[in-house]
């Protein structure tokens, strides 16, 4: 076993890093903190950092880099692809080389560590905040640094920032980098972090925190650990108990220094107070609520002539558009077409909504489903296809009946039985007509472009007729048959329920659970052993069960045929202790010889495995439970007892009779009804079944043959496993609300025909009416119709039966309608992978069975939504979020109030409140529909789970604001008289920057097109986000400003022409960029698109929703050469910006000299001089060749690439002494780091014992550190020349 040696110091972030990485390992190493590994020498862990002794004498890994990477790779936390692994390594480098030095310089003096230069400490705060602001921008669209899950990059960065967050960064600091704070809190709340760190308290009061930490450190560090590793590589905390008078004086001086430092910091804050206040006001304005107040009738077009508000507000943007879209018929497939039957050369796109329950309210699973489906539908519609997204709602048999029954009891103190079936169904319809459209209104709020005129309800006459027809056809050909088998039975509901309505509650041992109808909780999670006596002897057989009451229905004891312990019992019987029943000992291979005694009690009527054994051995099936959970067919005193009261009575009777052996904890899964919370019982009932073997084979073959495609492909294994091992489907439900089964039991009033039994299918006929059924019965039994008496089955069909024919019943099947001929089969079925079998498979089977056609060509299965910490959404955790709360915003108090309206008990409510307080301390800010939709699509990678961070959605609201401001600026730049060209095209006069942004636009168009075709939604959102934010807004709009301003100030004709070309390019980017965005963000794209002038006003589409989606044939200007040039220029710009940030040149413009290796690079720089000057905020930019003496002294130097280095004139602009001091400290750190690496790599066994990947990483780190040291020394020399 591997052994991990770490420092005992609680704030040693290097040891913390490797311990967290170890938490992800499948087999975590043993952690030792009280000594170095064998052969470590005197320095031990304190000198080389953490160490990992590999099992099997494979040697020892030294240092946080090698150990951390080794452990993280074992846990799959170093990236999935080469690109991700490189990014992880890059962030580790940032953590070690940039974050750690300033974090230590800032915080270690506060923890009592000596040897830190005072000036360096004071300057480190500003440097750290600068780094955090840069990190904040990187994290704005992301939850984690690399990919969609936590990686070693996050571990390294979070542990490097642990000390500042705990001891230095005040609430105001954290608020200014809200994305970093959100990311840090997400990281430290991960279970692996919590296991190592416990609960991390963010800094509140510096003095209190520092004192507390020093005390803790002194208390924890034993005298023998004086050389133990501290947060700084070689620094140690001052002092150790007991403290002398001199030490106390020193500490008093430290406190005094700390107070002065605090006062100085407060003075700095006061100086910043005025601009900080102004900034706060601006932020409030950005997130403020602006409403649309222009009187607009429902369906009337929104006013787009009024000026745009100053900032983006979801309430303003989302007002009025939906009703106009709906009234104009944009969502109908007939829009723009003379006839549906007329072939559309662009094709037909049809998708039906997974019908939500009529009782349901919107949750994030609905929101994800609808965001994806609406995005796809809008894209197909904009491509010119005949697009239909058909809405519908499921009658939800059990859920609806429960809701209405509770309402009746609450309001009228009546049960459904008090009312009678017909009156109760009338009450259900009344409730449906009053409340049932709620979810439709919520779907409209999400912007779902459904054709509401085609909305269907599964109990509508059209669909009910299709359900009846499907049952009759399948019954007549023998696919549906009658049989008595075990079903999932809810005693509370008095009905069989489907597997999807059974929650599997996992217990680790003895647990008391509440059960409806019982005052006291019932014991589960225990295994009771008892004995059966062998008839005619004193010998006994010991068996065990978790449901001791079922022994009253035992009809056999089973053992394995090969078990030598029981071979002598062949043909023997055991005696039931409570009745005269003799139970045979049967030999069956299903018994596990190694479990318990190897003997198993068999209750065929109340256990699925026992049922199979009973069938194989022709055992007696004794049903001991009635539909309400009372015992039947048992001897007194158990007869008439409730099942869990009988559990106690039987146990006591076994003890009294000497049959009881023992009782012990037993991990188990308890089946719980999701609707009633009752314990589900396997019960023998005569029911209707669908024979699925043949249909399942056809469904599996359709996928194997490629006729049906399932995306992503990792679901194929599940599909084939289900289809190849499919069981027959029980479709009877003992309810009143639903499609009553059109089957009739026949009684023949003729002595020549013997009476039938309920489970005998021969005595059941089906019919579209009672008269039709009577005719069928008369023919079957060859008697006159007047001798036939019929009784219709009281049961209704499983809700999934009507859902299974939904794709064609909505179009009027079995009638041949126009809609059926045009839209069936459909194109796509999109839904969550959790109902792959319950709904998707049944649609495929029933579609093939009843129509001979697959209901759709492709199935796209999206992931399951979890919270930011990867936990399943659960009301008791407080992490179930209503999407409308994300759209409109809600306070923490509002979230708490929703819990009070739930069915949670007080303990769970308190737990949920704590979860809400932790995740949403200030509630959920208003994000808007567009931001929510965009975030959901951005998260939808083709995996199984989505860890949804609500705070990340807010980042996309800020993105909307960026779009808003960009279009406002662009409209001002275009001017009132601007007229766009008739179509997007190049005129030949475009500048290098124009050609670049058009190349990037073309690339975005191609990426979006590929993304939609491949259902790669993150690729689409990333392409759009990057184009708008990083290319159009951050680069091109900045480059536009000087071009336009020069044209306005100069009468030069050339400047005017350049400005005009620039405006046409800008318009092309805006118009196409909004069209790219429209399927994902329909509201803000419509609002902004309506403000733009049209290329062809006379025949332009009235809405962006029916405007063509950008196509690669239209935007075909992608140029790899131009992209490479601009990437080089942006690399230079970033280098200049980095230098400016290093020297705090926030507003001062400096002269910049770019030293190029050859004339070709000089020429390139000169062509982009205006862009370089604008984007880098430089006074002048001058390109010079290598060795040119034109570069004056007093410049800061940075290498932009192998072709160019940047020289930024600093003389006279900065405090030289301060900069030399800062760089000297950095130089010392780098030299120390290089010494450690050289020492490590110089060891004789380094090349043999250290993994090759770690050696490569060490070489890369050595190269990077050496390069950085050379740059630092060069900078110091430059500064000294200025002094």
Are 1117 and 999 spatial neighbours (Cβ–Cβ below 8 Å)? yes
Tokens of 202: 């963010």
Average pLDDT over residues 514-525: 93
Answer yes or no: are the C-beta atoms of 663 and 527 closer than 8 Å: yes
Helix (H) or strand (E) segment spanning residue 456: strand 456-457
Tell me what pLDDT residue 171 has.
82
- Taking the C-alpha atoms of residue 570 and residue 764, their distance in angstroms, rounded to an integer, is 43
3-class DSSP state of 470: helix
Query: What is the band of 257 on the pLDDT scale with cuts at 50, 70, 90?
Result: low
Residue 628: the pLDDT is: 92
Residue 874 has pLDDT above 70, yes or no: no
Angle (CA) 490-491-497 rounded to 5° is 20
Distance between CA atoms of residues 540 and 535, nearest Å: 9
* pLDDT at residue 668, as a whole number: 93
How buried is residue 662: exposed, middle or buried, by Cβ count under 10 Å (0-12/13-18/19+)?
A: exposed
Packing angle, helices 1169-1176 and 1120-1142, rounded to 10:
40
Evaluate whether 1104 touches 1075 at the Cβ level (below 8 Å).
yes
β-sheet bridge partners, residue 961: none
Mean predicted confidence (pLDDT) in 801-807: 95
The string of pLDDT tens digits covering residues 1204-1250 is 888 988 877 877 787 788 888 888 888 998 998 898 888 888 888 88
Mean pLDDT of the region 481-489: 92
DSSP 623: -
pLDDT at 873 over 70: no
Residue 236's pLDDT band (cuts 50, 70, 90) = very low
3-state secondary structure of 664: strand
Give 37's DSSP letter.
P
Edge to edge, the sheet with strand 743-748 lists: 764-766, 743-748, 788-792
pLDDT at 878 over 70: no
767-774: average pLDDT: 95
Please report the pLDDT score of residue 642 as a whole number.
95
Any long-range contacts for 407-410 (C-beta under 8 Å, 24+ apart)? 407/431
The model's confidence at residue 539, banded by pLDDT at 50, 70 and 90, is very high
Query: What's the sign of the alpha-carbon dihedral 135, 141, 142, 147?
Result: negative
Q: How far is CA 656 from CA 121, 539, 578, in A?
A: 78, 19, 12
Predicted confidence (pLDDT) at residue 982 exceeds the cutoff of 50: yes
At residue 225, the pLDDT reads: 34
Mean pLDDT of 663-672: 93
Sorting pLDDT into bands at 50, 70 and 90, what band is 275?
A: very low
pLDDT of 222 reads: 33
Condensed to tens digits (0 to 9), the pLDDT of residues 444-463 reads 999 999 999 999 999 999 99
Radius of gyration of the chain, Cα coordinates, nearest whole angstrom: 37
Encode pLDDT of 401-442 as tens digits.
888 988 898 889 998 989 999 999 999 999 888 877 888 888
- The residue with greater pLDDT, 402 or 853, is 853
Q: How far is CA 965 from CA 313, 315, 548, 958, in A?
A: 12, 17, 70, 11
pLDDT: which is higher, 124 or 536: 536
Give the pLDDT of residue 1210: 83
> 1217 and 1283 in contact (C-beta within 8 Å)?
yes
pLDDT at 903 over 80: no
| Per-residue pLDDT at 941 | 67
What is the average pLDDT value for the chain, to the nearest integer? 86
How many CB atoms neighbour CB 1269 within 10 A?
17
Buried b / exposed e across 323-356, counting CB within 10 Å, b at 16+? bbbbebebbbbeeeeeebeeebeeebbbbbbbbb
Alpha carbon 970 to its chain centroid, in Å, reads 35
Residues 6+ apart with CB under 8 A from 364: 865, 873, 880, 881, 883, 936, 948
Half-sphere exposure of 1176 (CA within 13 A, CB side): 31
Predicted local distance difference test score (pLDDT) of residue 86:
85
**Residue 1076: per-residue pLDDT:** 97
975-984: long-range contacts at Cβ-Cβ below 8 A with a sequence spacing of 24 or more?
975/1063, 978/1063, 978/1067, 978/1093, 979/1093, 980/1064, 980/1067, 980/1068, 980/1071, 980/1093, 980/1094, 980/1095, 981/1064, 981/1095, 982/1095, 982/1096, 983/1095, 984/1068, 984/1071, 984/1072, 984/1095, 984/1114, 984/1115
Residue that the structure tokens 């350049």 belong to: 1058
133, pLDDT greater than 90: no
- Select the highest-mean-pLDDT range: 77-86, 158-167, 501-510, 852-861: 852-861
Q: Give per-residue pLDDT as tens, 550-562.
A: 999 999 999 999 9
User: What band does 522 get if pLDDT is binned at 50, 70 and 90?
Assistant: very high
pLDDT-based confidence at residue 8 (cuts at 50, 70, 90): confident
- Is the predicted pLDDT of residue 344 greater than 90, yes or no? yes
Least confident of 222-231, 737-746, 933-942: 222-231
Q: What is the pLDDT of residues 725-740, one digit of tens each?
A: 998 999 999 999 999 9
Residue 220 has pLDDT above 50, yes or no: no
Instruction: Give the per-residue pLDDT at 203.
Output: 82
Lowest mean pLDDT among 314-323, 881-890, 914-923: 914-923
* Residue 772 in this model has a pLDDT that exceeds 60: yes
Q: Count CB-CB contacts under 10 A for residue 191.
A: 10
Q: HSE (CB half, 13 Å, CA atoms) of 487?
A: 27
671 touches 488 (CB < 8 A) = yes
Rounded percentage of the chain residues whose pLDDT exceeds 70? 89
Q: In this predicted structure, what is the pLDDT of residue 48?
A: 56
Give the range among 371-385, 889-903, 976-990 with minimum mean pLDDT.
889-903
Count CA atoms closer than 13 A to 425's CA, side-chain side. Answer: 12
Asked whether residue 327 carries a pLDDT value surpassing 50, the answer given is yes
Handedness of CA 559, 561, 562, 567 (dihedral sign): positive
Residue 373 has pLDDT above 90, yes or no: yes
CB-facing half-sphere around the CA of 450: CA atoms within 13 A: 27
Least confident of 5-14, 944-953, 1057-1066: 944-953
Q: Please, which pLDDT band fits residue 852 given cuts at 50, 70 and 90?
A: very high
Distances 354 to 391, 403, 458, 812, 839 between C-alpha atoms, Å: 8, 21, 12, 18, 9
Query: What pLDDT was estimated at residue 578?
Result: 94
As a whole number of angstroms, the distance between CA 1075 and CA 1024 comes to: 10
Confidence of residue 127 (pLDDT cuts 50, 70, 90): confident
CA 997/CA 984 separation, integer angstroms: 13
Distance, in Å, from the CA atom of 922 to the CA atom of 935, rounded to the nearest integer, reads: 20
- For position 635, what pLDDT does the model report? 93
Burial of 801 (0-12, 13-18, 19+ CB in 10 A): buried
pLDDT of amino acid 1269: 87
Q: How far is CA 1091 from the centre of its chain?
A: 35
Q: What percent of the chain has pLDDT over 90?
A: 50
In 3D space, the residue among 126, 256, 261, 272 whose CA is nearest the CA of residue 1218 turns out to be 126
């Amino acid at each position: 076993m591997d052994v991990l040696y770490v420092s005992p110091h609680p704030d040693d972030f290097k040891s913390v890093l490797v311990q967290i990485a170890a938490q992800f390992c499948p087999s975590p190493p043993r952690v030792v903190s009280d000594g170095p590994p064998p052969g470590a020498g005197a320095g031990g862990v304190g000198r080389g950092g953490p160490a990992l002794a590999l099992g099997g004498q494979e040697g020892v890994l030294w240092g946080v880099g090698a150990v951390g990477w080794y452990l993280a790779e074992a846990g799959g936390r170093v990236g999935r692809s080469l690109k991700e692994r490189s990014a992880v390594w890059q962030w580790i480098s940032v953590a070690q080389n940039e974050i750690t030095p300033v974090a230590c310089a800032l915080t270690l003096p506060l923890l009592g560590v000596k040897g830190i230069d005072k000036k360096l400490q004071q300057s480190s705060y500003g440097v750290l905040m600068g780094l955090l602001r840069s990190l904040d921008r990187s994290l704005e669209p992301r939850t984690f640094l690399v990919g969609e899950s936590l990686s070693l990059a996050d571990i390294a960065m979070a542990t490097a920032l642990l000390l500042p967050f705990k001891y230095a960064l005040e609430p105001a600091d954290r608020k200014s980098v809200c994305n970093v704070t959100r990311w840090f809190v997400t990281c430290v709340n991960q279970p692996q972090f919590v296991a190592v760190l416990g609960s991390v308290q963010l800094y509140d009061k510096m003095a209190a925190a520092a004192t507390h930490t020093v005390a803790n450190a002194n208390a924890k560090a034993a005298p023998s650990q004086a050389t133990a590793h501290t947060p700084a590589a070689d620094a140690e905390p001052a002092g150790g108990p007991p403290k002398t008078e001199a030490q106390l004086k020193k500490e008093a001086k430290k406190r005094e220094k700390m107070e002065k430092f605090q006062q100085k910091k407060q003075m700095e804050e006061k100086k910043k107070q005025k601009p900080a206040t102004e900034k706060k006001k601006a932020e409030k304005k950005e997130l403020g609520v602006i409403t649309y107040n222009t009187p607009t009738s429902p369906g009337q077009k929104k006013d787009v002539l009024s000026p745009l508000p100053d900032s983006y507000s979801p309430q303003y943007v989302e007002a009025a558009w939906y009703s106009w879209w709906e009234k104009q018929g944009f969502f109908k497939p007939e829009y723009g077409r003379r006839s549906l039957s007329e072939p559309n050369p662009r094709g037909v796109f049809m998708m039906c909504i997974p019908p939500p329950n009529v009782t349901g309210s919107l949750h994030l699973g609905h929101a994800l489903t609808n965001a994806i489906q609406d995005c796809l539908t809008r894209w197909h519609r904009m491509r010119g296809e005949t697009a239909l997204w058909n809405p519908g709602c499921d009658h939800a048999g059990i859920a609806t009946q429960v809701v209405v029954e509770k309402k009746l009891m609450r309001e009228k103190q009546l049960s459904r039985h008090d009312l009678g079936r017909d009156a109760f169904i009338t009450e259900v319809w009344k409730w449906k007509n009053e409340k049932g459209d709620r979810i439709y209104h919520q779907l409209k709020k999400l912007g779902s472009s459904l054709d509401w005129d085609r909305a269907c309800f599964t109990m509508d006459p059209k669909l009910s007729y299709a359900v009846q027809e499907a049952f009759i056809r399948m019954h007549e050909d023998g696919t549906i048959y009658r049989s008595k088998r075990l079903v999932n039975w809810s005693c509370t509901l008095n009905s069989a329920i489907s597997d999807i309505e059974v929650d599997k509650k996992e217990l680790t041992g003895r647990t008391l659970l509440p059960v409806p109808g019982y005052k006291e909780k019932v014991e589960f999670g225990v295994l009771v052993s008892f004995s059966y006596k062998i008839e005619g002897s004193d010998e006994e057989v010991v068996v065990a069960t978790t449901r001791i009451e079922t022994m009253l229905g035992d009809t056999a004891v089973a053992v394995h045929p090969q078990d030598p312990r029981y071979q002598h019992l062949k043909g023997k019987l055991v005696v039931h202790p409570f009745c005269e029943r003799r139970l045979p000992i049967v030999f069956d291979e299903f018994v596990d010889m190694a479990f318990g005694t190897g003997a198993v009690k068999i209750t065929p009527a109340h256990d699925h495995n026992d049922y199979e054994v009973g069938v194989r051995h022709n055992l007696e099936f004794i049903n001991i439970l009635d539909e309400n959970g009372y015992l039947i067919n048992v001897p007194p005193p158990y007869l008439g007892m409730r099942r869990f009261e009988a559990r106690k009575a039987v146990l006591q009777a076994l003890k009294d009779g000497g049959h009881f052996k023992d009782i012990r904890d037993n991990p188990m899964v308890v089946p719980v009804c999701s609707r009633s919370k009752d314990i589900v019982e396997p019960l023998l009932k005569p029911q209707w079944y669908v024979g699925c073997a043949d249909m399942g084979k056809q469904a599996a073959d359709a996928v194997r043959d490629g006729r049906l495609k399932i995306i992503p492909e990792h679901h194929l294994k599940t599909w084939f496993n289900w289809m190849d091992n499919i069981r027959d489907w029980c479709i009877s439900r003992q309810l009143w609300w639903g499609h009553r089964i059109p089957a009739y039991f026949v009684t023949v009033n003729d002595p020549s025909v013997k009476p039938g039994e309920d489970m005998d299918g021969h005595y059941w006929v089906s019919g579209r009416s009672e008269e039709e059924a009577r005719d069928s019965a008369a023919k079957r039994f060859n008697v006159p119709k007047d001798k036939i008496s019929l009784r219709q089955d009281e049961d209704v069909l499983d809700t999934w039966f009507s859902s299974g024919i939904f794709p064609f019943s909505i179009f009027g099947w079995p009638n041949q309608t126009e809609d059926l001929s045009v839209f069936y089969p459909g194109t796509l079925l999109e839904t969550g992978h959790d109902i792959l079998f319950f709904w998707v498979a049944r649609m495929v089977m029933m579609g093939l069975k009843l129509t001979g056609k697959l209901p759709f060509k492709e199935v796209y299965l999206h992931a399951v939504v979890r919270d930011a910490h990867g936990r399943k959404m659960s009301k008791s955790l407080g992490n179930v979020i209503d999407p409308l709360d994300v759209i409109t915003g809600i306070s923490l108090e509002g979230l708490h109030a929703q819990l009070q309206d739930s069915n949670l008990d007080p303990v769970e409510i308190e737990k949920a409140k704590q979860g809400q307080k932790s995740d949403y301390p200030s509630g959920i800010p208003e994000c808007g529909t567009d931001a929510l939709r965009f975030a959901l699509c951005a998260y939808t990678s083709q995996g199984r789970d989505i860890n949804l961070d609500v705070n990340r959605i807010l980042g996309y609201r800020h993105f909307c604001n960026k779009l808003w401001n960009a279009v406002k600026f662009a409209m001002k730049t275009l001017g009132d008289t601007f007229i766009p060209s008739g179509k997007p095209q190049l005129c030949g006069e475009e500048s290098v920057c124009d050609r670049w942004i058009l190349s990037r636009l073309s690339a975005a168009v191609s990426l979006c097109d590929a993304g939609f075709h491949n259902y790669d939604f993150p690729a689409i959102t990333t392409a759009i986000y990057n184009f708008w934010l990083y290319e159009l807004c951050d680069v091109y709009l900045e480059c536009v400003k000087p071009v336009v301003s020069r044209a306005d100030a100069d009468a030069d004709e050339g400047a005017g022409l350049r400005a005009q070309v620039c405006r046409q390019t800008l318009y092309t980017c805006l118009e196409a960029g909004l069209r790219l965005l429209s399927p994902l963000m329909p509201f803000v794209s419509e609002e902004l698109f309506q403000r733009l002038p049209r290329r062809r006003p006379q025949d332009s589409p009235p809405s962006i929703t029916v405007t063509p989606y950008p196509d690669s044939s239209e935007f075909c200007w992608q140029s790899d050469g131009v992209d490479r040039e601009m990437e080089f220029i942006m690399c230079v710009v970033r280098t200049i910006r980095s230098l400016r940030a290093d020297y705090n040149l926030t507003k001062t413009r400096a002269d910049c000299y770019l030293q190029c290796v050859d004339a070709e690079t000089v020429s390139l720089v000169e062509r982009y001089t205006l862009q370089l000057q604008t984007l880098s905020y430089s006074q002048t930019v001058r390109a010079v060749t290598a060795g040119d003496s034109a570069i004056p002294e007093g410049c800061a130097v940075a290498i932009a690439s192998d072709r160019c280095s940047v020289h930024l004139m600093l003389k006279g602009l900065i405090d030289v002494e301060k900069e030399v001091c800062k760089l000297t400290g950095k130089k010392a750190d780098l030299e120390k780091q290089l010494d450690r690496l050289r020492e490590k790599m110089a060891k004789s066994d380094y090349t043999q014992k250290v993994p090759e990947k770690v050696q490569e990483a060490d070489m890369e780190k050595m190269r990077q550190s050496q390069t950085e040291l050379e740059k630092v020394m060069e900078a110091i020399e430059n500064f000294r020349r200025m002094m």
